[in-house]
């Protein structure tokens, strides 16, 4: 589970029946405003649904700190190698898309490698296509995260601002929002994807050719 407040967001992930991973993500200036353990405890106290679940629990070890752990590569494939999942890109796991992206890119890389073993002459073509597929998925995921941070840890602000681009109705029951948040990162017809792509301030990778080839969703949405 996750939760947000004015100064950041928290995760609480069950590891074992009696163990939960709890952490707080915050901006640099907030982190520098106090001691790590005190900040973590104060942020946890802001969210009842997290603090109530760990009431009476004892910490296992000291508070650990990680900074600036997001990264990406513009080169995804090369002679004799492909990068999949977190090997080439990692963003804040706010909406838990990492496993899905890793499985989708891993499966696609395996398909392409199988093709290349049978027809090595297509190496450059298929490496470029895989790179476009990989970047398309991670780019759309990244844009949601950027919008979340821009809205001061609340994606609602961005979704409200683009309601008129989503085909009518409110954002909270819009099919494109539901699909995108369920991993629809490779569908060109998704109107939320198109709205996010238009936000040049959210660009991450160097310019690339998008590959619209969703591994899960059909090209046309089901009738309502």
Sheet holding 8-16, edge to edge: 2-5, 8-16, 19-26
126-137 per-position pLDDT tens digit: 999 999 999 999
Other CB atoms within 10 Å distance of the CB of residue 17: 6
Q: What is the mean pLDDT of residues 151-167?
A: 92
| Minimum mean pLDDT range among 31-40, 41-50, 65-74 | 65-74
- pLDDT category, 220, cuts 50, 70, 90? low
63-85 per-position pLDDT tens digit: 988 887 789 999 999 989 999 99
Share of the chain above pLDDT 70, in %: 97
Asked if 102 and 84 touch (Cβ cutoff 8 Å), the reply is yes
Q: Which residue has the higher pLDDT, 173 or 199?
A: 199
State the Cα–Cα distance between residues 207 and 194, nearest whole angstrom.
Answer: 16
Q: What is the pLDDT of residue 2?
A: 83
In a 3-state reduction of DSSP, which class is residue 2?
A: strand
Task: For CA atoms 75, 71, 143, 218, give the dihedral sign.
Answer: positive
The tokens describing 121, both together, are: 């002459």
State the Cα–Cα distance between residues 123 and 118, nearest whole angstrom.
Answer: 11
How far, in Å, are 7, 142, 149, 182 from residue 197 at the CA level?
27, 11, 16, 18
Using only C-alpha atoms, the chain has a radius of gyration, in whole angstroms, of 20
């Amino acid at each position: 589970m996750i939760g947000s407040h004015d100064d950041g967001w928290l995760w609480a992930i069950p590891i074992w029946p009696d163990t939960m991973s709890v952490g707080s993500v915050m901006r640099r200036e907030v982190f520098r405003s106090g001691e790590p353990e005190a900040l973590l405890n104060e942020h946890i106290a802001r969210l009842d649904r997290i603090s109530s679940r760990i009431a009476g629990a004892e910490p296992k070890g000291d508070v650990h700190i990680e900074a600036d752990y997001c990264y990406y590569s513009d080169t995804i494939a090369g002679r004799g190698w492909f990068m999949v999942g977190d090997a080439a890109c990692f963003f804040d796991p706010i909406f838990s898309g990492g496993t899905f992206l890793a499985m989708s890119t891993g499966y696609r890389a395996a398909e392409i490698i199988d093709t290349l073993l049978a027809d090595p002459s297509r190496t450059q073509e298929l490496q470029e296509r895989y790179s476009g597929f990989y970047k398309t998925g991670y780019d759309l995921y990244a844009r949601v995260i950027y919008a979340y941070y821009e809205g001061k840890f609340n994606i609602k602000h961005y979704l409200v601002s683009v309601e008129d681009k989503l085909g009518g109705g409110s954002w909270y029951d819009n099919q494109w929002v539901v699909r995108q948040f369920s991993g629809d990162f490779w569908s060109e017809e998704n109107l939320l994807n198109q709205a996010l792509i238009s936000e040049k301030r959210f660009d991450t990778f160097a310019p690339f050719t998008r590959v619209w080839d969703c591994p899960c969703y059909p090209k046309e949405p089901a009738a309502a």
